[in-house]
Copies of this chain bind each other. A is one copy, B any other.
Amino acid sequence: MSTYKAPLADIRFALYDVLGAEALFAKLGFADASRDIVDAVLEEGARFNETVLAPLNRVGDEIGCKYDKDTGAVTTPPGFKQAYRQYVEGGWAGLVSPTEFGGQGLPHAAGIPLKEMIDAANLAWGNFPLLSHGATEALLHHGEDWQREVFLKPLVDGRWTGTMCLTEPHCGTDLGLLKTKAVPNADGTYSIDGTKIFITAGEHDFTDNIVHLVLARLPDAPAGSKGISLFIVPKLKVGKDGTVGERNGVRCGAIEHKMGIHGSATCVINFDDAQGYLIGQPHKGLMAMFTMMNTARLAVGLQGLGLSDRAYQNALRYARERLQGRALSGAKQPDKAADPIIVHPDVRRMLLTCKALTEGGRLLGYHAATLVDIAHHADSEQERKEADDLLGFVTPIVKACLTEWGVECTYHALQCFGGHGYIHEHGMEQLARDARITTLYEGTTGIQALDLMGRKVMQLQGAGLRVFLGQIEAFCKQHESDEALKEFVAPLREKAGEWQKLTMSIGQRAVANADEVGAAAYDYLFYSGYVALAYWWARSVAAAESSAQSEAFKAAKRETARFYFARILPRTLAHATAIASGAAPLMGLDAERFDA
């Protein structure tokens, strides 16, 4: 069985030593987010996740959610419901929500380590509260006052949970095709009819009520994505005064049988003359939905990170314990029957890949969380704007890279176990199966790449990239004569320059041929992710050197950074070359001839 210990030392290093969270939170006016308080939250969160959620990870996989055809009810795996009660009682649900709605008002960046811990401890369980956050965001930014009063408070305190109802059988990415209908009633409510699929946490036994946020079309809606509105459709009807009434016309029609996250209920939800309230403006639902989606995309990135870390922890333990073969350079533990497999360079390659992508990825993710806080709370408009531009630019990178690296790290970690990794009892194959969803939901990797290339680079003319490149150059300048950082600063500067040139060259080609955008997108996203990680690794070494961390800690950061620059960053060479080849090699083959 795989185990989990919250990586508090590295979490603190990332937050305080690298990202300077203590000063940042103070500057942004979070009076209650002192280091003492945040530390206490991290420690209590670690305890909750290690002792309550992590032990339920296996039973969640083995038993999964159960669906009752007769009642439409979903029963979560043994222990899940009780754990949720503890979560609510511990006040975890509203950790980063505004105090005026019952939250604790902590910065987003102080809550994100908890998110990572939950995902590592029990990804499937974490999907239930996760979707509440999206609904919370949508209500906060687009809800009317009474909607916030009635729906937001129970979501924040965890009495109710939320969902995002977008996908239909014939439309996922292309929401313009959706068919669910909303007809206005005389009393100002709407009658919703349609079928949604892949609704995470769409039905369960944690709470009495579930707040569905549903995309649907009004009768006078224009065709396509400009005719979509967003509705609040609770499982139990709720009056404008907050009175909870009878069962609404909302029913779970089935749950999906999935490769992993068996403990997470993925539901078909049928809306049959269901009573709903319009949220935001008519036909502007997609914009409101994007508010939820951006939060959710960062959150799914964190899922990849959490799984990478848990996988790494277990592979490392196994690599130290498993005795097999001798080091090629001579026996390292001659008194034992064999050396532990961590002596072998190729096992180290797999472990170091996990370590470099996880610890570097942690900074990528946490940094994005600080941007959320800055974008909302910084004093100057310019600061807020820059943070928002950069956040928009890094969001698809965080989502796609952290999840693809999650797939990669769970792959390497399983591989370290040899054949034992393929067996259920060690728990490694569950991590690999669970990780596989993260590159699909909330927009596949390909969709993230298009968002980055098409929207953030082309449409927004790379505003976020400019901010990022400025920060990299500032860092390089600050450390250019620093002996300890020389080996990292020079290649980082070179890659940053290449990044800018690559971006411009794609932009130029795209003028003549729109397919160039799609053809470059995937490789551009990963090129960007690896350069971003090089920056975070260089900053990690710099931060460690000037910190009060132990010499062992500093050495570990330095050696891992060296590994990253020598062994992972060269992937940019393949991505850059693929980008340079343009669209022709992708578009040359006629669609009819793929099986000629």
Q: Which residues of A contact B (CB under 8 A)?
A: 7, 167, 170-174, 177, 198, 256-260, 313, 316, 320, 323-325, 327-330, 337-338, 340, 342-352, 355, 407, 411, 414-415, 418-419, 421-425, 429, 432-433, 436-437, 439-441, 444-446, 449-450, 454, 513-515, 517-519, 521-522, 550, 552-553, 555-556, 559-560, 562-563, 565-567, 570-574, 577-578, 581, 583-596
Contacts and interface: CB of A to CB of B under 8 A. Distances in A.
A257 B586 contact: no
Contact of A440 (B177, B259, B349, B422): B422
- 9 nearest CB pairs, A to B: A345-B518, A566-B581, A259-B429, A570-B577, A556-B596, A566-B585, A573-B573, A559-B589, A257-B424
A60 to B, nearest CB: 16
11 contacts: A173-B324, A177-B323, A177-B338, A257-B425, A259-B423, A316-B595, A342-B591, A345-B521, A349-B586, A422-B440, A559-B585
Contacts of A407: 411
A198 B563 contact: no
Contacts of A424: 256-259
A425 B439 CA distance: 19
Given A172-B418, A346-B522, A514 B423 contact: no
A577 B569 CA distance: 10
A515 B585 CA distance: 39
A415 B439 contact: yes
B566 A578 contact: yes
Given A355-B594, A415-B439, A432 B588 contact: no
The binding surface of chain A is classed by DSSP as helix
A351 B593 CA distance: 12
Contact of A436 (B342, B429, B522): B429
Contacts of A329: 513-515
Contact of A173 (B325, B517, B555, B559): B325
A258 to B, nearest CB: 5
Most chain B CB within 10 A, of A346, A517, A574, is at A346
A446 B351 contact: no
A570 B346 CA distance: 22
A163 to B, nearest CB: 15
A363 B578 CA distance: 24
B324 A171 contact: yes
Contacts of A445: 415
A482 to B, nearest CB: 20
Contact of A595 (B177, B313, B587): B313
Contact of A258 (B260, B429, B563): B429
A407 to B, nearest CB: 8
Contacts of A521: 345-346
Given A329-B513, A595-B316, A174 B440 contact: no
Contacts of A320: 591
A538 to B, nearest CB: 15
B518 A446 contact: no
Contacts of A313: 595
A439 B338 CA distance: 23
Contacts of A586: 345, 348-349, 352, 563, 567
B589 A560 contact: yes
Contacts of A411: 407
A485 to B, nearest CB: 17
Contact of A574 (B328, B429, B553, B574): B574
Contact of A346 (B170, B177, B446): B446
Given A345-B519, A573-B574, A589 B552 contact: no
Given A348-B586, A587-B345, A593-B556, A567 B578 contact: yes
A346 B515 CA distance: 10
A325 B577 contact: no
Contact of A172 (B419, B454, B592): B419
A313 B595 CA distance: 8
A422 B259 contact: yes
A492 to B, nearest CB: 16
B555 A596 contact: yes
Contacts of A167: 419
A440 B428 CA distance: 13
B517 A328 contact: yes
A567 B581 contact: yes
A345 B515 contact: yes
Interface centre among A340, A350, A423 (most CB of B within 10 A): A423
Given A429-B258, A436-B429, A587-B348, A174 B594 contact: no
A76 to B, nearest CB: 19
Contacts of A352: 585-586, 589
Given A346-B519, A563-B588, 9 more contacts: A256-B423, A327-B515, A342-B594, A345-B586, A346-B518, A552-B590, A559-B593, A573-B574, A574-B574
